[in-house]
Structure 1
Amino acid sequence: MRTGQSITAQLFLFALLLVLLAGAAGGAGFFGLMRTGTAIDAVTGVSTALTNINTATAAIQSLYATGRPEDAEAALAGIAAVDEGTAGTPALAGVTAGLAEAVNALSASWRDIGAASGDIDRAFAALAAAAARLEARAVEDLGKSEADLEAVNIALEGTRATVSGLTDAELRLVRGRAAFEAYLRTGEFTQLTAGQNALSTAARLAEDTRVLNEDAAFAEELRAISTLTAGLYQTVARKSDNSQFIDLASEWPRLSPRLATVDQRIDAVNAKARKSVDKAFNRAAGLTIRRNRAAAFGAAVRNVRTAAYELLLATGDYRLRPDAAHGKAIDAALDQVNAAITALGPEAAKDVTSPFADYRKAVAGLRRSTEALDSARADATRLSAAAADALHQTADAVADDARTDRDRVSLAVLAVIAGIVGVAILVTALLNRRIARPLRALTQVMHALAHGDLGVTVPVHKARDEIAAMGEALLVFQDNGREREDLRRAAERDHALHEERRLALEAAIAAFDTAAAGVIATVDGLAGQLGRGTADLSGAAAHAAELAGRTSLAAGSAAESVRTMASAASELARSQSIARDQANAAVSVAGTGAGHARTASGVIAGLSESTARVGEVVDLIGSIAAQTNLLALNATIEAARAGEMGKGFAVVAGEVKSLANQTTRATDDIRQLIDGIGSATRSAVDLIRDIAASMAEIDAAAGALSDSVMGQGDATAEISGSAAMAAASTDDMAAGTRELAEAADHTRSVAGDVTATAGTIQTEIVRMRGLIESFSRDARAA
């Protein structure tokens, strides 16, 4: 950097270099944000694809379990979404297409299973109907056999009762014969009575047997036997007088053959009845066999129906859990049904063979469809896992790329931050050496000159810049101070001479008072008019003073606004410091990058403080320049009073005033440059904060920056309000200035009146001049 280059140019170059470095850091951060956004989009796409593939997998599992068309549609929609979201992904090439084919295969298998289930239901219904018909026939045969057997048993029981009754009657007849023969041999009355009772019982039994008989084949014989037996009893019965004595001996030749006849008739009936009983027994045996066959057939038919229901249950279990165990259960159930049908016999089996064959065929179709369903499910599961693995691999690749980009951007940002730190250190060193140090030296000289120490040594700045010009101005100011001191001493000497002359003139003045009494009276009247004009002029001056006071108040308000702006700027600096701290916390994952960012923030904060100190020095220089300007004005007035002797001093005072004005303009330029440096510093701080925010967004830790940014926005709003107040104060000052101008116009008008009065006074002064000349001559004579 050239020695003669101005501070403005140097500061401009420093600010430009900082802005370029900050722009580079911002560009690196923006590039990192763009790459991060691209990685986030890729990860979001992969995450959405994973969600869709998981949804499709869940729908496939539900489709396998239920076969609902909605699940198939949901699975195909999820697969289509994966295709759309991962278009161009090589790892998924062919996987989603195969997965869609597996879903279609699942749907087709379920349709086949539905068709096979329908065939099974229809075949089972036909099998059940055929078995029901066979069972109804078996029940009918069994009922008929049992009815016939019941009728045979009833007839057999009747025949048995007839034989039993006839046998009992025959036994009673035999006993009666024996009793009568015994009576005839012995004549015992008890034998006669026994014979009579036996024939009575035989007659009663014969009649009861006839009455109870239901077989028409025995009706006639039983009627005849009953009549003969009754006749025998009548022959031997007691007489009407209840006497038991009969002439049995005379009746016996006729009674005995009759008894023999009845016995023969009974034997004949019994023989016929025995034959009927044997025949009934044979028929009952045949009917029993027929009944047992019907019962066995019915049991076989029920076995078929039971086996068929067992087969249906086994088929249902296989539908729910189509594994090998349930498949074997179906085979066992089919064998049981087949065995039960075989047990029916060839003739009866014809009715159930065809529906059973249809059922077997339908079950085979169900098993084939179920195996196809399991195969499709296995393919779908395998392809779903392959798609998920491919998506996970894609996500890992995207994450690796994002980490690589983050590392690259972090290195770039760290390099830029290191450059900013280096430039900031260089700028701080140069500002301290070329601006701050010379300004501190000049400040010490200014304080010494302000306290009247005119012998202080003014440092010489070799560089041809604003500081050198300020040093030259201080030299001129020092010289002017020395000349002003000489003038002051000369004025003191002149004052002593004037005092001696005043004492000499007192005597002449006493005489002059008497002579000038008349003139004074006239002058007194005119002085009254002049006093009134002067009063108006004083009022105008008072108004001008009031306006000046209002202007001063406005200036104070503007200063207060400026102080408010400074406070807001401090608040903004604190907000920026908080933002830097939060940014450093957000980019803690960047390791040493965060430390460099904090170092850069500290250096730039130091630069900001150095700039603030330079501003204070510039304000002091401006104040000294204003005082110098005021002193130059006073020197000009004193030179005017000194007459010819003060002309040289007036020239020097003019030069000092010119240098003071140049110094004021230079301080204004330096103030603008310092403000530019402060703005560039704030921009650098903002850019560093943006860099920190970019690194925080890369590492997902920038959530806390919003509060700091809001604080900065509030501080900026406060600065804007203060600026508005300063503008309002400036407007008040302008209005006061206009009113002051109006007061000045009024003052000029009053001054015109005073001028007119002064003309009158001038006439009297002519008269007064003669008196004064006379007074002078008297004074000189004295």
Structure 2
Amino acid sequence: MRSGQSITAQLFFFALLLVLLAGAAGGAGFFGLMRTGAAIDAVTGVSTALTNINTATAAIQSLYASGRSEDAEAALAGIAAVERGTAGTPALAGVTSGLAEAVHGLSAGWRDIDAVSADIDRAFAALAAAAARLEARAVEDLGKSEDDLEEVNAALDGTRAIVSGLTDAELRLTRGRAAFEAYLRTGDFFQLTAGQNALSTAARLAEDTRVESEDPAFAEALKAISSLTGDLYQAVARKGDNSQTIDLAAEWSRLSPRLSTIDQRIDAVNTEARASADKAFNRAAGLSIRRDRAAAFGAAVRDFRTAAYELLLATEDYRLKPDAAHGTAIDAALDRVNGAISKLGADAAKEVAAPFADYGKAAAGLRRATEALEAARADATGLSAAAADGLRRTADGVAAAARADRDRVSLTVLAVIAGIVGVAVVVTLLLDRRIARPLRTLTTAMRALAQGDLDVAVPVRKGRDEIAAMGEALLVFQASGREREDLRRAAERDQAQREQRRAALETAIAAFDSAAAGVIATVEGLADQLGRGTADLSGAASHAAELAGRTSLAAGSAAESVRTMAAAATELARSQTVARDQADAAVSVAGAGAGHARTASGVIASLSETTARVGEVVDLIGSIAAQTNLLALNATIEAARAGEAGKGFAVVAGEVKSLANQTTRATDDIRALIDGIGNATRSAVELIRDIAASMADIDAAAGALSESVMGQGDATAEISGSAAMAASSTDDMAAGTLELAGAADRTRTVAGAVTTTAGTIHAEIVRMRGLIDSFAQDARAA
């Protein structure tokens, strides 16, 4: 390589040498890549087979957990892929032997479990349906028993109401008979009244019993008793003028048998009602037993249903976790269901026996199918693990062979690379001496010229190559740079002089603008204050004028009204004096009458209270007698229910009833006397109270009248004086408001003139600001 050659020729020679060296390195690398590719293919095949066996293992696990046909197909596909991938490797022949049969065993186990699960579902549905039917039957029996029992109790209550009502009516008839007989013996009018009241009460009780009874068996008898009692009462009742309808002494022989007939009818109905009550009571006892049996049967059905659901839950738990503990739980649940069936009774047990037996068979089949599935899973898991271990061992062997080939190829490539590096070092040294070093010198000179150093020494190389031409061109650039530097310095001096003049002008303009703006702002603020003050003054003057006008009108009207009121008040004062004298006299008379009325009212009220307390005592005795009679009647009913054992108790109850009847008759006689005294006393009390109330009203009205007259007299005098003063004041106020209105009009006129002047000042200020801004812009532009 000669020194006079161009740089291009030198670079071509060096490049050709490097290409030859690179070809040698490439041949060595290609040989190594071929060996490495073969090793990679072997490792890839084994890795793919290992991936497929892992996929098949995952599909087997999923098949065991879910039993889906998709998982079985995926497992078989993975096994087939492993067999295809290892067909060319004798060491891996038969690695998946038996694994496909294990997968088929898992699928068959799940089919058996699905079939048994369907049998379990059908058997449980039959058990649940049978339990629902039994529970519905129990609810129906219980409801019917309770309805029948409620109906019987209602009938029993109705019968008791009939007996109670008729017994009370019979008691009133007995009192009436005794009162009439006493009247016939003594001629006592109070006895006649007591008898009539007793018959009235008996007729009302008989009619109420007929109306309230809902038992059709007693309807006709109750209607007859009510009719007879009502007719008898009408026969002895008084007219509207309190005169007697018939002569009781003459008609008693005809009326007495009618009383006896009614008593007999009542006794017959009571006897029939007691017999009906006994039958209803016996039926109620039977219905209570039937209801208790229905309730017990319902509880047994609910226990059976609960046990059946517990059996289903135990079966589901075994499906999720098929271990010995959950299998024992199924056996325990079956025993509980069997125990619940034994409590249902023979008929109900027959109804659920068949579905329960079917469930037991299906549960046993589930356990057998689950055990077979577990065995198939164990086989599949073991075979897949063995296949994976074989593939991993093969992969390890292939990887070791690949590493050995890689080491041999690496040594060859390293030797070639060492030769290339040696040649490259020689080429680099030659390039540095012939090309790089001169270029670095030129680069340093160029960088100095670029930074403005025009005095740098430019190296010039002798010869005809490109580096010598670059040195000569750089000398030309150095001369041009020196000329440009001289021109730049002259331009900078001119620009500095212009900037100094512009800065002085800007300072003068800014000072003038600031001073003018301050003056204008001050004048403008004063003008705005003047405008706002005149506007407020004008508004206040207008408002004052308006108020003065309205006040003047109101003052004139008020003065006229006050003068009229003063005249009327003077006339009213003269009338008040006469009315006050008459009111004082009325107050004196009313006060005396009210005092006498209050004294009489107190005496009569004391007598009325004493009579009322005696009546309360008599009522208490009568109430005790009536309650005793009712208790005796109930005791008679209970004694009749007791049969022979209650005969002695019935005799005692009859004596108590007789004593209660005598007490009732005695209290009725006393009550009649007290009622007569009470009626007269109440009439007197009411009369005295009316008189006292009237006198009190008169007294209060007279006092109020007197006070009102006195108050009106004083108020009238005050009104008269105040009205005169108000009339004078309103006249003065009207005159003052007229003067205020005139002053307000004058103020509004002055405020308008000031507002006009302020507007003119503001317009001139705006014009002055525009002139100043225009001057400043022109000065800056110049």
Which category of TM-score, normalised to the shorter sequence, fits these structures? Answer: 0.3 to 0.5
TM-score, scaled to structure 1: 0.47
Name which one, 1 or 2, has greater alpha-carbon Rg: 1
Name the structure, 1 or 2, with higher relative contact order (CA <8 Å, separation 6+): 1
